[in-house]
A and B are shown apart, each in its own frame.
Chain A
């Protein structure tokens, strides 16, 4: 059994992953949402598949990438989005908007109950009120807003986004849009003639002119509302336009863009519940894109795959599993469990790497461009270093660290993704791949190493204080690992910080500006320097090193998140009110561990003399190594 355990675990894990990667099949008589989701469109400055726009919009409005209807039926983001685009009256009844704030509900005279999702239809009578209230809190800085003000602003932004989405591809009240477009194109020449006659003072056909004038107004409104630019340039490189813009443009050219026509037919087919017409025209549109926009199509197909696979949530599951296996390996069946943990981690790392590299390909950028990607990268770096430690020491400690840090950082990333597209375009000052690839990567690698050192120290203290499993040998190797990782952190944090200074000097002539994020980085460097000097000077030994490494977690989390919450300076991208209690909780837990570690050694379960463990197993305090 023991011999095969590793393989059984690995095969089960790999099998469940592989099952996820198989493409789902669409039946002939269903709308082909998978195909529709790959259609490219330009939103937020980036060409992305419709599926991404659907997921991000639902995430912003609903907080999740899936919508559950009353009665338990689930709608995927694509299903919801297609209704929003083509069948607004139906979409208006979906309970998509999340409101939990009692004061906001009170605004509408509703009592807080167990219901937190509401439909657009329910808010429709209050739109003006919501807009006014939201506009008031929009004037405040994020830091100054009360919970009510944040909630009402969120609701207002969600409703605004929703209304723009409804009017992105066609007017929300469109009935037979393809026919409407045909009438429009047919009447344009006549109307143009009437307009000329009107200008010349001759008799003109007033009815013709009025018809078109009404439609032009309708499309102008459409062009103002549009959230997505769905119409690609006809020549390879040019600007993307919204459907409304494109239609207004058609007045001059006399031709409607083929993509606009296809969208109109597809929308009509969807409303008429005609699956085969929908799929047929979707194929035509897909082929058109493949021919006219081959690069965009390649990229959006890949992004669609990336969205479907959700590599980070898959590796998250594997990380937890590996962490549990590694911890279990300290209790029994150690070799087999440890080895399974190691191989599971390799699998998780491979999927994690796939996700990271995919993001780099999609964005054409170095790995870290915002807070979300920093979490992904910190986890990735820490897992690699921890796996190297595991390979050297083979005692399950590296594996446990890898599993824990991989899991926690990906969870953090998951919660940072709530604000929409995580592959957003970069502000002008960040638009430099050299500095993103050096400064940002070095800094985040430094964070990884600091967290890894802290994790090692946590294992030392938890095992030492609360269990009897910390033998002298384990304690010594933990101390060596922690020391080595702190050295590694020092190198990367220092180089990263100074590179940041050089970037600043290159872009605004100030090597050091005392910006909060810069200060956070230098705090890490100083703390590393203190740890190393205290150790070289013999002021601390094993336990002191561990306590200081845990405080390193506090310093690093302040630098990573805390400074962003101050809302000052050039790096304050993304203020996260919600994360504040978590950050404080994390810091408090670290202080608690430090206090536990500061108890006299006799109180540590692993070292207590009253225990039955032999004198041999008790770690003697190692002499400090010389400064050399």
Chain B
């Protein structure tokens, strides 16, 4: 039994099955991007253990195909096991060993990146300084205690909690927060424009004049969800202060008083704070003469890191990112009127893996096919002779 199992997981048939399943999955996942958008299709097909059917909640779902993580993991195990079992050192097999060692590095690196890399954005208008970047896919409810003399105390509640925990009770807050509604994506409209029968979901602040309509998740690459929620503030000494509408679409934080302090509350993209700050000096957007084709975008920034006594200027432009303290800043986009630059900030501890893997595999393939070619031409020569 054990032997059969070992035979199976080290077999070439399993390799081929996995590769074929991978092809089918990638093909289906690529077609699915047309309707789901790249991000959603990626999550359902590639960053999952199973592809489920039906896609939308109908009370039941069944796995219909192995997902990217499962196929990748089986392939990785198969690769390592087969080589552990059959490994014999000979020069003739050098190419094969190198190729597969490189593939192991690549697959493992890919898995690692999937699990640990973090992508976020930093939007800077000219002269802006920021010491945080924002996650475009995750949201947080920030509750700010402004009573401190020179420091505000921020309590950030991630969207995963907002979605599931109906009552939020945190020791740093003098009140409990009850999440009345949470919309992953929504559209806000003034009540008077929203038509008959529209009801506000809040009774305090500007939210009392706004109707919220739920919207389907954004699928296009350049769209993002506008999350909204209605929250009720219940002071811990009893009573209710009312319900506020918080939304990514509302600009400034809203204020209220509780327990003798002034609080601010806002729903915003989740923030990652950094021990250093970035200031935008200048954003340049060049076009080719007489056309609208972009020629180059560049952002001149100043990097200030008191901990390491760094204070320097850097130019970030297409294909030339800035790497600093494990994070990389890329020129990702800009505001349509060129008023602000958008930098993509990536922390990826395993970014080096594909580079190493590429070199190893390419060397392996060259050696392997080189052997074939030499053998082949020797055969031909002896055949002709």
Interface of A with B (CB < 8 Å)? 42-46, 229, 239-240, 392, 424-429, 431-432, 435, 480, 484, 487-488, 490-491, 494-495, 498-499, 501-503, 505-516, 519-520, 522-523, 526-527, 529-530, 533-534, 536-537, 539, 558, 563, 566-569, 627-628
Contact = CB atoms under 8 A, between A and B. Distances in A.
A499 B348 contact: no
A424 B288 CA distance: 11
Contacts of A240: 289-290
Given A516-B33, A520-B30, A537 B12 contact: yes
B228 interface: no
Nearest to A503: B319
Contact of A509 (B288, B290, B346): B346
A239 B286 CA distance: 14
Give 9 closest A-B pairs by Cβ, nearest first. A45-B288, A509-B346, A537-B12, A498-B358, A428-B294, A519-B30, A45-B291, A487-B369, A491-B365
Contact of B293 (A425, A498, A530): A425
B262 interface: no
21 contacts: A42-B289, A42-B290, A45-B291, A45-B295, A427-B293, A427-B294, A428-B296, A490-B369, A491-B365, A494-B362, A495-B358, A495-B362, A498-B358, A501-B354, A509-B119, A509-B321, A509-B330, A509-B344, A519-B27, A526-B22, A539-B16
Interface of B: 12-13, 15-16, 19-20, 22-23, 26-27, 29-31, 33-34, 37-38, 41-42, 46, 92-93, 96, 106, 110, 113, 119, 221, 287-291, 293-297, 318-319, 321, 328, 330, 332, 344-346, 348, 351, 354-355, 357-358, 361-362, 365-366, 368-369, 371-373, 376, 380
B290 A229 contact: yes
What secondary structure prevails in chain B residues at the interface with A? helix
B293 A505 contact: no
A566 B293 contact: no
B30 A566 contact: yes
Q: Of A46, A424, A519, A527, which is in contact with the most chain B CB atoms at under 10 Å from its CB?
A: A519
Contacts of A534: 16
Nearest to B362: A495
Given A507-B321, A514-B46, A563-B30, A628 B93 contact: yes
Given A425-B291, A526-B22, A516 B30 contact: yes
A513 B380 contact: no
Contacts of B289: 42, 45, 229, 239-240
A505 B290 contact: no
A491 B366 contact: yes
Given A392-B380, A516-B30, A505 B354 contact: yes
A404 B12 CA distance: 36
Contacts of B371: 628
A88 B124 CA distance: 50
A229 B288 CA distance: 12
Contacts of B295: 45, 425, 428, 431
Given A487-B369, A491-B365, A523 B23 contact: yes
A520 B328 CA distance: 28
Given A519-B30, A566-B33, A44 B319 contact: no
Nearest to A46: B288
A484 B372 contact: yes
Nearest to A539: B16
Contact of A435 (B37, B38, B319, B346): B319
A254 B351 CA distance: 60
A253 to B, nearest CB: 21
Given A42-B289, A505-B351, A507-B318, A530 B19 contact: yes
Contacts of B26: 519, 522-523, 526
Contact of B16 (A392, A487, A533): A533
B119 A510 contact: yes
A56 B54 CA distance: 49
Given A494-B365, A508-B346, 7 more contacts: A431-B296, A508-B330, A523-B26, A533-B15, A566-B31, A567-B34, A568-B33
Given A515-B38, A526-B22, A628 B351 contact: no
A474 to B, nearest CB: 15
A480 B376 contact: yes
Contacts of B34: 566-568
Contact of B92 (A491, A530, A628): A628
B12 A498 contact: no
Most buried by A among B113, B290, B291: B290
A568 B346 CA distance: 23
Nearest to A228: B290
Contact of A499 (B29, B357, B358): B358
B90 to A, nearest CB: 8
B120 to A, nearest CB: 10
A487 B328 CA distance: 36
A487 B372 contact: yes
Contacts of B119: 509-510
B100 to A, nearest CB: 11
Nearest to B99: A494
Contacts of B344: 508-509
Contact of A529 (B19, B46, B293, B296): B19
A514 B13 contact: no
Contact of B376 (A484, A491, A514): A484
A502 B16 contact: no
A494 B361 contact: yes
B42 A514 contact: yes
A498 B357 contact: yes
A507 B30 contact: no
A569 B346 contact: no
B87 to A, nearest CB: 13
Nearest to A524: B23
Contacts of A510: 119, 346
